[in-house]
Amino acid sequence: MAFSPLVDELVESLRCLPGVGQKTAQRMAFHLLERGRSGGSRLSDALSNAMTGVRRCERCQNFADTELCGICENPQRTNGTICVVESPSDLLAIEQAGDYRGGYFVLMGHLSPIDGVGPEEIGIERLLDRIRQEGVSELILATNPTVEGEATAHYIADRLDGQGILITRLAHGIPVGGELGYVDGFTLTHAFRGRKPLIE
């Protein structure tokens, strides 16, 4: 063992971070020890507080410090619209876009029978209960445009069939600022099919 047990343990622990292998963990540990001790102590406190204190919002399953998350606590955002996303980072992306002002439901995953993830694991019964109780008018299925994301969206839509709720899916099309020459064929097909009159 070339280093002290404390340094070895720090390197080993840093490997629990996603995308961090032996070399990166070493680089991080040495950086903190050489030039970032105050940052390291702050990170230690933040980790310990978050690992013990962060729970799931009882209404939308998002991360929260208290029973309800900030969005669910806001009465202006319980307006009969729920946006279903796969993960907190999807929610964050939508929040940063800044336009949507309704509520959320965070699945924390998608249906994936091969990995043993069924409707129960991602809280779909909880979502259906909430829709029943709150009287939702629109459900936006913002799961990812992948095979699993599409399957999850269709499953939820099937379960709500005939209940008079407007169920929508995000539009596919050309990204704003993108160049046509770099857009793939599937996206272009969607963009053509979803074209709109310039003057409405």
Where do contacts with its own copies occur on this chain (CB under 8 A)? Answer: 1-7, 9-10, 12-14, 16-19, 24, 26-34, 36-37, 39-54, 62-66, 69-71, 87-89, 91-92, 95-96, 108
Smallest separation, CB 65 to its own copies (Å): 4
CB 102 within 8 A of CB 79: yes
Task: Give kind and range of the element (H or E) at residue 139.
Answer: strand 138-141
Spatial separation of the C-alpha atoms in residues 72 and 120, rounded to whole Å: 22
CB 14 within 8 A of CB 25: yes
Smallest separation, CB 64 to its own copies (Å): 5
Smallest separation, CB 98 to its own copies (Å): 11
Smallest separation, CB 6 to its own copies (Å): 5
DSSP secondary structure of 54-67: -EE-TTT--EESSS
Residue number with CB closer to its own copies (40 or 173): 40
Residue number with CB closer to its own copies (89 or 133): 89
The distance of Cα 91 from the centroid of its chain, to the nearest Å, equals: 5
Spatial separation of the C-alpha atoms in residues 143 and 85, rounded to whole Å: 5
Residue number with CB closer to its own copies (5 or 164): 5
Task: Give kind and range of the element (H or E) at residue 197.
Answer: none
Residue number with CB closer to its own copies (100 or 159): 100
Residue number with CB closer to its own copies (24 or 174): 24
128, 80, 129, 85: which is closest to 104 by C-alpha?
85
Smallest separation, CB 193 to its own copies (Å): 32
